[in-house]
Structure 1
Amino acid sequence: MNVLRMAYPALALTLLLFLMLVMAGAWVAQRATRNSGWVDVFWTFGTGIAGAVGALVPLGTAPPARRLLVAALVLVWAGRLGGYILRRTAAIRHEDARYARFRAEWGAGFERRMFLLLMIQAAVAWLLALAVTLAASNPYPLAPGLTLAGLAVFAGSVAGEGLADRQMHAFRADPANRGKVCARGLWAWSRHPNYFFEILVWLAYPLIGLAGPWWPGLAGLAAPLFMYWLLAKISGVPPLEREMLASRGDAYRDYQARVSPIVPWPPRRRG
């Protein structure tokens, strides 16, 4: 028991140091390319690897099936999302609007402040990786109902986010849509359907981790709430919608007035 009490903090510290190194690598990459889109690539793959490692380290008596399942799911998530961001970043020649604004506003202090921002992102990734690790650590056998629910949430979330990404990619690839607002498919029901499914995917892990009277598993339910707060209030919707209002003006204001911000919902009628 004493060994385990020492091992869990050691694992958590190791994951944090790993993610700090990953994001330091992201800082080097964005500095070399002057394209901060690489930050999101490093973050996604780093979070997935850290979560999988945390799930697979054989501490305690968690069933191997749970550890393997949780690790596999977080790697699938990272592979799908990270691969999409990687292809998008490699294909474009302009910097993500969020980071371009930081570069303009921070001036000569950009690189220093960017490094600090990436260390904060490392801490965010660490908290999510710990949620995955926690879900894999339940010593009780898998609960069939909750496991199936978790798998259904995961599959629906990954498929939904992938569909939203493909719809937006197709819209942007058409030159006729330059300067327009995408209000097709899932984007007709949510201004940020990709964020909705990204939030939802983090509910899958704690569902799989809930079984028996193991109350620490309930802490994993904070992960989707944390992701909602992050995307809806801090780093997702606010900066992106500021940029969209600046570039699309009244067309985007009309879109905001009619369409739900995150949760897909039938749009309001005009007038």
Structure 2
Amino acid sequence: MAKALDSHFLALTSIVTVCYQFIFFVVTALLKFDKVTDFAGSTNFIILSVLTLVIKGSWHFRQVVLSLLVLVWGLRLGLFLLMRIFQWGEDRRFDKMRNNLGKLVVFWIFQAMWVWTVSLPVTIVNASGKNPSIQALDIIGWIMWSIGFSLEATADQQKLSFKNLPRNRGKWCNVGVWKFSRHPNYFGEIFLWCGIFLSSIPVLEGAEWLVIVGPVFLTLLLFFLSGIPLLEDSADKKFGNVAEYRLYKKVTSPLFPLPPEVYGNLPLWFKKIFLFEFPLYNRNLPRESFLVFKLST
């Protein structure tokens, strides 16, 4: 009876996610130790994908492939972020949270929501008894995952290498794929999860289509809350008075990788509407710098 009531594993995955994140929240709150925060998020994805695959036990090819894609992504991201935080020694996102229990609780609630919601396409596929043949949507989705994964991994490694060079201390990263996007890692993450959603479509029926909230939630989170706005604000405060940085923002797309020669010559209205150059990404530029940026665009 219980199995029938939770045939899509929604209750199971929510309980596992809340319990797993709560453990790390307690560690962070009591010990003021936030070095495992990102590791807790990425490994939670792995737990949900493997758990639902094993419990269902049907081992359809699509289920196995999508679960493996999440496993590879989660392991790579989790180990990378864990290594990076131990190298850098601190996570500045938590500077205002370590002694503020309320803010810490809100952060961990959002992290649990992020994991559970974004995992929905894989959860539903693994819970499904349907096994339609592999279709073009599957292939396209897997290709999208491969491109997004490669871009995210490349961007992370290039930025880490850039930051670890003493001569680059106190500079913004503008090498490699960062020449074409101010946040190529986020583009890669959004792209790969959209690919996973696309690969889940052949299985979806009726209300199951609501799993589209996974990539949508991830995109909105990165666009407006914990992703791009925080990094743009931080960089603007540090480098807003530096002419080279203002030029970098003018000619570099906030998300979609584009040649600077192309993006820099596009009108501002086009950037805002089609390329997500939202005004909130420039709200902490010094006033004079912002006017120069706006007029020159």
Q: TM-score, normalization: structure 2?
A: 0.79
Find the aligned partners of 2:178 and 2:238 in 1 and give their Cα distance. Answer: 18
Taking only aligned residues, the RMSD between alpha carbons, in angstroms, comes to 2.5
User: Percent of counterpart pairs with the same letter?
Assistant: 26
- Over 3 Å counting, the alpha-carbon distance change for 1:220 and 1:85 in structure 2 is same
2:135–2:202 CA contact under 8 A, matched in 1:
no
- Over 3 Å counting, the alpha-carbon distance change for 1:194 and 1:33 in structure 2 is farther
Structure 2 equivalent of residue 263 of structure 1? 256
1:164–1:194 CA contact under 8 A, matched in 2:
yes
Find the aligned partners of 2:169 and 2:253 in 1 and give their Cα distance. Answer: 23
Give the gaps of 5 or more residues in structure 1.
none
- Over 3 Å counting, the alpha-carbon distance change for 1:26 and 1:255 in structure 2 is farther
Find the aligned partners of 1:223 and 1:167 in 2 and give their Cα distance. Answer: 28
Find the aligned partners of 1:213 and 1:74 in 2 and give their Cα distance. Answer: 19
Deviation, 1:253, is 3.5
2:180–2:258 CA contact under 8 A, matched in 1:
yes
Q: Alignment partner for residue 171 of structure 1, among 162, 172, 175?
A: 162
Structure 1 residues 178-197: aligned runs within 5 Å: 178-197=169-188
- Over 3 Å counting, the alpha-carbon distance change for 1:204 and 1:57 in structure 2 is farther
Structure 2 equivalent of residue 97 of structure 1? 92
Find the aligned partners of 2:247 and 2:204 in 1 and give their Cα distance. Answer: 49
Structure 2 equivalent of residue 72 of structure 1? 68
Structure 1 equivalent of residue 38 of structure 2? 40
Find the aligned partners of 1:256 and 1:213 in 2 and give their Cα distance. Answer: 41
- Over 3 Å counting, the alpha-carbon distance change for 1:5 and 1:210 in structure 2 is same
Are 1:206 and 2:206 an aligned pair?
no
Secondary structure, in 3 states, of the residue corresponding to 1:220?
helix
Structure 1 residues 100-249: aligned runs within 5 Å: 100-103=95-98, 108=99, 110-136=100-126, 137=128, 139-211=130-202, 214-216=205-207, 218-249=209-240
Q: Once the two structures are superposed, what CA deviation does each residue of 1:2-59 show, in whole Å capped at 9, x if it has no partner?
A: 77641326x3222112111221222233346534242111011112211332344328
- Over 3 Å counting, the alpha-carbon distance change for 1:206 and 1:213 in structure 2 is closer
Q: TM-score, normalization: structure 1?
A: 0.85
Amino acid aligned to 1:114 = L
Q: Once the two structures are superposed, what CA deviation does each residue of 1:170-220 show, in whole Å capped at 9, x if it has no partner?
A: 100111011112111110111000000000111122222222783555433
- Over 3 Å counting, the alpha-carbon distance change for 1:213 and 1:260 in structure 2 is closer
Find the aligned partners of 2:173 and 2:107 in 1 and give their Cα distance. Answer: 30
1:56–1:71 CA contact under 8 A, matched in 2:
no
> Any runs of at least 4 consecutive aligned residues in structure 1 with deviations exceeding 4 A, and if so which?
2-5
- Over 3 Å counting, the alpha-carbon distance change for 1:89 and 1:37 in structure 2 is same
Find the aligned partners of 1:85 and 1:231 in 2 and give their Cα distance. Answer: 17
Number of residue pairs matched by the alignment: 261
Structure 2 equivalent of residue 54 of structure 1? 52
- Over 3 Å counting, the alpha-carbon distance change for 1:255 and 1:209 in structure 2 is same
Amino acid aligned to 2:92 = A
